[in-house]
Structure 1
Amino acid sequence: MKITTLATALTLWPFFASADVTISDGWARASILASRPAAAYLTLTSNQSDQLVAITTLIAGNVTIHAVETGGDDVSRMVKIDALDLPSGEPVTLAPGSMHLMLMGLSEKLEEGTDLPLILTFASGARMEISVPVLGPGAMGPKE
C-alpha cells in the first residue's frame, strides 16, 4: 500500500527530461474497451525552444498528437500534429477538448488507478520516460 501511494505521488510530481523540459499535470482518462482509442494529457515547459516529435508506449500501437479545430461548418475535428512546438519558457498544455495525445491500437484498456508509461522524444534528441496516472472515464483533470 505504501509503495503504491509513493508511486502515485511521484507520478504527480513534475518530471525532468533533462535540464530543458519539465512535464507536469500528466494524466490519462480510463478507456471503456481496449478496442477504443484513449487520450492522455500533460503540460510541457521547455527552457529552450524544442519540439515534441514522438510519443510511444508499450500498450498502444500508435500514439499521436492531436489538435481540435473547428471548420467553417462549425464542426470540430481532430487534426494530427506531426511535431508539437515548445516555445522557450512557455507552458504548452494538452487538455480535454484541446490538444491531446491519442493512443490507438491498445493492447489492454486503461484502468482507473493504474499508471500509463510514456516515452517522449524531442527534436533536440532528449528523451523522457514518464508514467502518468489513469483517472476515471469522466475525469477532466488531475486537479478537479
Structure 2
Amino acid sequence: MKLLVASLLTFAMPMAAQAEIIVSDPWARASVLASRPGAAYLTLTSDELDRLLEVTSPVAGHVMLHGIETDAAGVSRMVHIEGLDISPGTPVTLAPGSSHLMLMDLSRKLEEGESFPLTLVFEAAGKLTVEVPVLGPGAMGPTEERP
C-alpha cells in the first residue's frame, strides 16, 4: 500500500517547467538547383532564456546558422554562428538579408508549394520539429503582399 501511495504522490507533484519556444512564420525559398544551398527563415520567441544549438532537416546534408557581419567600411558578409541566444519575450527573426538558416547539400531541389520538416534543438527547450512551406524563389516572407 505504501508503494501505491508513493506512486500516486509522484504523479500528483508538478513537474519542472520546460522552456516554451514558439516558432512562427517558418518558410523557405524555392531553390533553382539541388546543387546550390537553400535558405530558411522563421521567428523564435521563448518564455525564458534559451539558445538555439543545432538545426537539422532530411532535405539537407547539414544546416548552418548564418549571421550578418558588417565591417568598418560598411561591407556586410555572411558568417557562420555556433548558436543563437533567445531572450525571454523578445522575438528573434531570421529573414532575408539578415540572420538565416542555410540548407547545405540539398538532397533535392526545393519546389514552390511543397514543405519539409526542420528540427530545432534548444539548450533548455530541447527538440522541436516544424513544417516549413516552400515559397517562390523571389519570396520575401509568408506575409508579403501578393500582386
Name the TM-score, length of structure 2 as normaliser: 0.83
Q: How far apart, in 2, do the equivalents of 1:115 and 1:143 lie?
A: 16
Q: What is the Cα deviation at residue 74 of structure 1?
A: 2.8
Q: Is 2:57–2:119's contact at 8 Å kept on the other side of the alignment?
A: yes
Amino acid at match of 1:79: V
User: Which position in structure 2 is the counterpart of 1:126?
Assistant: 126
Deviation track 1:1-27 (CA, whole Å, cap 9, x = no partner) reads xxxxxxxxxxxxxxxxx7610000110
User: Which position in structure 1 is the counterpart of 2:8?
Assistant: none
Q: Is 2:21–2:125's contact at 8 Å kept on the other side of the alignment?
A: no
Q: How far apart, in 1, do the equivalents of 2:73 and 2:19 lie?
A: 44
Q: Is 2:69–2:76's contact at 8 Å kept on the other side of the alignment?
A: yes
User: Which position in structure 1 is the counterpart of 2:23?
Assistant: 23
Deviation track 1:97-141 (CA, whole Å, cap 9, x = no partner) reads 000000100010110000021010001151101111100000000
Q: What is the Cα deviation at residue 49 of structure 1?
A: 0.3
Q: How far apart, in 1, do the equivalents of 2:83 and 2:68 lie?
A: 15
Amino acid at match of 2:82: D
Q: How far apart, in 2, do the equivalents of 1:125 and 1:85 lie?
A: 13
Name the TM-score, length of structure 1 as normaliser: 0.85
Q: What is the Cα deviation at residue 75 of structure 1?
A: 2.3
Q: How far apart, in 1, do the equivalents of 2:141 and 2:27 lie?
A: 7
Deviates more, 1:49-58 or 1:122-131: 122-131
Distance change >3 Å, CA 33–CA 78, structure 1 → 2:
same
Q: Which runs of 5+ in 2 are unaligned?
A: 1-17
Q: Is 1:28–1:116's contact at 8 Å kept on the other side of the alignment?
A: no
